[in-house]
Amino acid sequence: MDRNRWKAQCQILICAAVLDAAILGLMAGTVQVRAGAADSRKELSLAEEQAILPDTGRILPAGSPEMTAEEGKENSRFAALGSVVALTFDDGPDVYTGELLDTLERYGAQATFFMLGSNVEKYGADTIPRMAALGCELGNHSYSHPNMKKLSVDDGLAQFQMTDDLIAQYNNGQGATVVRFPYGNSTDDLLAEIGRPSIMWDVDTLDWETKNVQANISAVLNNVSPGDIILMHDIHEATVESCATIVPELVNRGYELVTIHTLAAANGVDLAAGETYYGFHNGATNE
């Protein structure tokens, strides 16, 4: 009896030990799987992928707006292609901006967003960190879209300062790197104080007027040329929908869709504060 009980106890102990080992093994396996997943996420992050695959069509890592004009001149791939173009989106962010970012991400494209402070308050949290992560450039389009020619310099500057402060909340304390005046209306006094380049455009899609997908596709694809700055508005559903066709077609035609700073750098231009730029064609602006 005693011997049998001892045997039974032994069996229970052995079973428990085997079970423990199995649980430990599972836990170790789980930890390994988790570590593996973390590693592969790191390997596949967009910035790193773009940084380590320089010859597959997308070469610009996140942070490329910092590229200098000298680096742009030395970039032989840009020199060879000469087909960089900047998509710019005004008056947002809005409910459609996320879908637009999906399209840009899908095709490895970048854009510049000239945002209104009043809309950053509503949609900035959902969109600005993602814009930055995709390497897009953040622009300031005032707080409430006034005509700057009708405001004092101080009131005009306050419009941009408020918007910078709002953008900074979602961008690690950094405001916009470029500005666009509402209606393209600036004054010399305001330009002297604004502290950043003022960006106009050379292809006006009139998307705010047509609000039509096919019309906007035609407006871009029939008029685009290398070095262009293209004006659209991501507050219109039709515009965002049209970009699902425009972006891949431009990529298909060999265009690099880049930020304003990269567009300038690729054409050997260092953007200067208080200067106004319309587009970049072999180093010349359309001023």
Active site members: 90, 233
Q: Which is nearer to Ni ion, 60 or 136 (CB)?
A: 136
Closest approach of Ni ion to the CB of residue 94, in Å: 12
| Least Å from the CB of residue 90 to Ni ion | 4
Q: How far is the CB of 133 from Ni ion (least distance, A)?
A: 25
- State the residue number with the nearest CB to Ni ion: 90
- Rounded to the nearest whole angstrom, what is the least distance from the CB of residue 87 to Ni ion in the complex? 15
108 closest CA partner among 59, 68, 146: 59
Peptide bond into 197 cis (omega under 30): no
* Smaller CB separation from Ni ion, 84 or 138: 138
From the CB of 174, what's the least distance to Ni ion, in Å? Answer: 22
Closer residue to Ni ion (CB): 107 or 208: 208
Of 90 and 202, the one with the shorter C-beta distance to Ni ion is 90
Answer for the pair 152, 144: CB distance below 8 angstroms, yes or no: no
What are the residues binding Ni ion (CB under 5 A)?
90-91
Query: Measured from the CB atom, is 91 or 164 closer to Ni ion?
Result: 91
Which three-class secondary structure string do you get for the chain?
CHHHHHHHHHHHHHHHHHHHHHHHHHHHHHHHHHHHHHHHHHHCCHHHHHHHCCCCCCCCCCCHHHCCHHHHHHCHHHHHHCCEEEEEEECCCCCCHHHHHHHHHHCCCCCEEEECHHHHHHHHHHHHHHHHHCCCEEEECCCCCCCHHHCCHHHHHHHHHHHHHHHHHCCCCCCCCEECCHHHCCCHHHHHHHCCCEECCCEECCHHHHCCHHHHHHHHHCCCCCCCEEEEECCCHHHHHHHHHHHHHHHHCCCEECCHHHHHHHCCCCCCCCCEECCCECCECCC
